[in-house]
Structure 1
Amino acid sequence: MAAPQIVEHTHFTLERNAFGKLILTTESGVRFEGVVPVRAFPIQAPEIGISLVNTDSEEVGWVDRLADVPEPAQSLIRQELAAREFMPVIAQIVSVSSFSTPCTWTVETDRGRTEFVLRGDEDIRRIGKDNALLIADTHGIQYLVRDQFALNTGSKKILDRFL
């Protein structure tokens, strides 16, 4: 079976079928049902470089900049990404049960207050050149700290003990 041709956003249309699946139709009329958008750089550049993959995980479309995609395709891609991605953003570290791991963290996120268990210091990773951090809990949920230096003083003191 030949590999599918990758098409740029100006050469395809996007729609949702009755079952809620995305359908990509190329300029030449080839249809791909069940297309899923995947961000190339989900944290550092979430609006740049979005791959559209078919049910066989083959790339069938590419979007350089999401803002350049005409409506309604842009909204469909945004809706699909929002439904698939779950990465709470930590606004404040309220408390930790211990400064040795494993320990339970209580945090305020953009989705409300929650608790999670940090297995080890290695589960806190710096991201890129920015001051961003990615913290993984024991269940594999990733929590994002957009800028560790923008947190309140108490949160920064707790974080310093683990970095």
Structure 2
Amino acid sequence: MTIHDFKLSYNAFGRLVYTAAGGEVHEGVVPVRAFPIGAPDDGISLVNGDGQELAWISRLSDLPDATRAMVEKELASREFMPEIRRIQRVSSFTAPSTWYVETNRGDASFTLRGEEDIRRIVATSLLIADSHGVQFLIRDTQALDKASRKILDRFL
């Protein structure tokens, strides 16, 4: 199904509604990223409440502006993964430790229970899970400042 074979809108309750070219309507549609870290704007599936795929969006940029805005809004409401831009300091170099970081959503602090909560996604990307299960992303370790990389190296 191509991007021109459907229409998206919101119902009175603010839920996303998918209307197929043939008129079939699905309420409560959810967009799901195929590659949320490696290629967040490529490969998005629109699924119904039963998890069945209704449409595949190869690239968000291919969508008309209004449709893209709806999909992006829904994705943002479902996903919460702050991206660490700088590690300001840590309370200790042994776990558990409290990390004080600067993220794309502002300053934050979290408790790292152990080194096993730092997972390498690809060569330069990491996911760090805090003690509450919140995932923090470091998209590119090489893009961090020298002091942040030095702190991070102590835990890797």
The alignment's TM-score, normalised by the length of structure 2, stands at 0.95
Unaligned residue ranges in structure 2 (runs of 5+): none
Q: What SS does the corresponding residue of 1:8 show, helix, strand or coil?
A: coil
Counterpart position of 1:50 = 44
Name which of structure 1's ranges 33-42 and 91-100 shifts more when overlaid on structure 2.
91-100
Unaligned residue ranges in structure 1 (runs of 5+): 1-6
Counterpart position of 2:5 = 11
Alignment root-mean-square deviation, CA: 1.1
> Where do 1:1-163 residues align within 5 Å?
7-129=1-123, 131-163=124-156
Name which of structure 1's ranges 65-74 and 45-54 shifts more when overlaid on structure 2.
65-74
Q: Give 1:8 deviation, angstroms.
A: 3.2
Taking only the aligned residue pairs, the percentage that are identical comes to: 56
Q: What SS does the corresponding residue of 1:51 show, helix, strand or coil?
A: strand
Q: Give 1:71 deviation, angstroms.
A: 3.0
Letter matched to residue 123 of structure 1:
D
Runs (4+) of structure 1 moved beyond 4 Å? none
